[in-house]
């Protein structure tokens, strides 16, 4: 029996834009995903957009019961900025206040710890039209939005989160064209990254001003970078890959300052962001109280085979090539490598290099395309997901036994949810969602997860 510490949290994570959907009279404004789908629906898998997602807005009472039925002691979701303040920086939508208050009270009434994220890739379109995160005014609008949330819901939220995976909109929006504005503009991307970090630090400051005992963190996808070999060039490639992917937000969020080597690399490419004199002090003085960590797969890299074209736009990958390790373990239904030891390596890094700050594994999960083929006797028999969770928990337990300060495990996700350009291509839930009639059915993993939670181990 692998047993976790007393009061260890068991639950799942979702987000507002991926689960709520919208109704004609709910007062929600468009975010970048709503807008982009209207403009280019062909980019989205099976042309399924964000207007319905998992209809949580309509069905949250029953959905919260599923949290109990699957053994949750913790639940993480997000507030949609475009629902609360439809134009991003104007009037507050009273219907949104009532909706989130009802949801949050429903979570707490079921004896479940509540984690609430303020931003999950969903910028109000009105702000994007004014320049989005490139524009300094978006930082100010976010700080106001965050403060409104703290004042409206601070009495009931157990843990706040400033941003989910902030490196992702930078990479996907300004390098790889997978998020709106889907451009290639490294100078803008680095400005967006800095403004996002500044906004996060300002939210930490505001949170502590509103409630001195409130806990606030940031959720980062800390993907360890593993070198192809111990050759110095491969080791350097891995170090630089991790600087851009993980440490660009981890260090300023936890330590209050950017890694010197990262700053020098950005300076060498003449890409330093614009900032005001006081910004670095704000970041230095407003570190997070705890950390959320998302982990799905490792980042394997090697020294580059070819020199970069000096006239091409800058990509961090000028310093490394992606590397497919022969014989790697795969999720055949998703195409991602499965490497459970990554959880242990993240835990060790946090313990040794980041003051062993308190943290929660806020996302980990197994996406499966065509999951209906595993249905038997009316239930998805997802033993592969149970094994995936067990194998990662073994590594997490080992790290905790060695002193890692991890307080919980949150799976992605509790009900199959909509996922950006992939829509419903890959299913992650403990509960199956039928897109035709929006009905829900617990999967085998959902039944097992309740046993895991009740036993505090397996």
DSSP assignment of 380-406? E--HHHHHHHHHHHHHHHHHHHTT--E
Mode of pairing for the β-strands spanning 321-322 and 359-363: unpaired
φ, ψ (nearest 5 deg) of residue 75: -145, 130
**Alpha-carbon span 240 to 219, nearest angstrom:** 21
**Alpha-carbon span 276 to 194, nearest angstrom:** 11
Quote the DSSP letter at residue 59. H
pLDDT value of residue 327: 95
The per-residue b/e assignment along 377-415, b for 16 or more CB within 10 angstroms, e otherwise, is eeebebebbbebbeebbbbbbbbbeeebbbbbbbbbbbb
Which of 171, 76, 89, 161 has the alpha carbon at shortest distance from 123?
89
Cα–Cα distance list, 241 to 141, 174, 247, 281, 386 (Å): 32, 17, 9, 27, 31
Rounded to 10 degrees, what is the CA torsion of 8, 364, 214, 197? 150
pLDDT value of residue 277: 87
Question: Which residue shows structure tokens 């970048």?
Answer: 32
Per-block average pLDDT, block size 10, for the chain (458 residues)?
A: 97 98 97 98 96 95 98 98 98 98 98 98 98 98 98 98 98 97 97 98 98 98 95 98 97 98 97 96 98 97 95 95 95 92 98 98 97 96 98 98 98 96 96 96 98 98
Rounded to 10 degrees, what is the CA torsion of 454, 455, 457, 458? -110
Strand-pairing partners, residue 116, are 77, 160
pLDDT value of residue 328: 95
**Alpha-carbon span 316 to 297, nearest angstrom:** 19
Mode of pairing for the β-strands spanning 74-78 and 113-117: parallel
The H or E element containing residue 192 is helix 186-210
Question: Could you give the maximum distance between any two Cα atoms of the chain, in Å?
Answer: 64
Both tokens of 325, joined, read 């390790």
By annotation, the residues acting in catalysis are 165, 363
For helices 56-69 and 444-455, what crossing angle results, to 10°? 50
Which of 44, 78, 80 has the alpha carbon at shortest distance from 179?
44
Which of 226, 119, 239, 237 has the alpha carbon at shortest distance from 179?
119
Pick the CATH number of 9-455 from 3.20.20.80, 3.30.470.20, 3.40.50.2020, 3.40.1000.10: 3.20.20.80
Specify burial of residue 47 (Cβ count, 10 A radius: 0-12, 13-18, 19+): exposed
């Amino acid at each position: 029996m692998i047993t976790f510490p007393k009061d260890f949290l068991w639950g799942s994570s979702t987000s507002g834009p991926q689960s709520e959907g919208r109704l004609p009279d709910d007062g929600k404004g468009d975010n970048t995903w709503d807008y982009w789908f209207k403009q280019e629906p062909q980019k989205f898998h099976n042309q399924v957009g964000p207007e319905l997602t998992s209809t949580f807005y309509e069905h949250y009472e029953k959905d919260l019961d599923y949290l109990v039925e699957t053994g949750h002691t913790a639940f993480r979701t997000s507030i949609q900025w475009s629902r609360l303040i439809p134009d991003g920086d104007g009037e507050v939508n009273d219907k949104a206040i009532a909706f989130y208050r009802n949801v949050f009270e429903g979570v707490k009434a079921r004896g479940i710890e509540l984690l609430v994220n303020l931003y999950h890739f969903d910028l109000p379109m009105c702000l994007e039209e004014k320049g989005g995160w490139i524009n300094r005014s978006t930082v100010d609008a976010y700080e106001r939005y965050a403060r409104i949330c703290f004042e409206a819901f601070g009495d009931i939220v157990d843990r706040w989160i400033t941003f989910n995976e902030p490196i992702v909109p930078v990479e996907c929006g300004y390098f790889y064209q997978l998020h709106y504005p889907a451009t290639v503009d490294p100078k803008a991307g680095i400005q967006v990254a800095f403004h996002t970090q500044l906004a996060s630090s300002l939210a930490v400051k505001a949170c502590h001003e509103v409630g001195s005992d409130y806990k606030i963190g940031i959720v980062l996808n800390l993907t360890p970078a593993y070198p192809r070999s111990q050759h110095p060039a491969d080791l350097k490639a891995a170090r630089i890959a991790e600087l851009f992917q993980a440490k660009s937000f981890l260090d300023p969020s936890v330590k209050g300052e950017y890694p010197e080597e990262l700053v020098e690399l950005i300076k060498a490419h003449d890409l330093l962001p614009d900032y005001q004199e006081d910004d670095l002090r704000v970041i230095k003085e407003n570190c997070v109280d705890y950390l959320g960590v998302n982990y799905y797969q490792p980042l394997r890299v090697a020294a580059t085979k070819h020199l970069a074209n000096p006239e091409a736009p800058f990509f961090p990958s000028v310093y490394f090539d992606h590397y497919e390790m022969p014989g790697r373990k795969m999720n055949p239904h998703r195409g991602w490598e499965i490497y459970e030891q990554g959880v242990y390596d993240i835990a060790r890094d946090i313990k040794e290099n980041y003051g062993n700050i308190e943290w929660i594994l806020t996302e980990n999960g197994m996406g499966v395309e065509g999951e209906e083929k595993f249905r038997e006797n009316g239930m998805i028999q997802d033993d592969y997901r149970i094994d995936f969770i067990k194998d990662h928990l073994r590594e997490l337990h080992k790290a905790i036994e060695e002193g890692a300060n991890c307080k919980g495990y949150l799976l992605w996700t509790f009900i199959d949810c909509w996922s950006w350009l992939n829509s419903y291509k890959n299913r992650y839930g403990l509960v199956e969602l039928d897109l035709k009639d929006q009905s829900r059915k617990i999967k085998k993993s959902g039944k097992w997860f309740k046993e895991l939670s009740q036993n505090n181990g397996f």
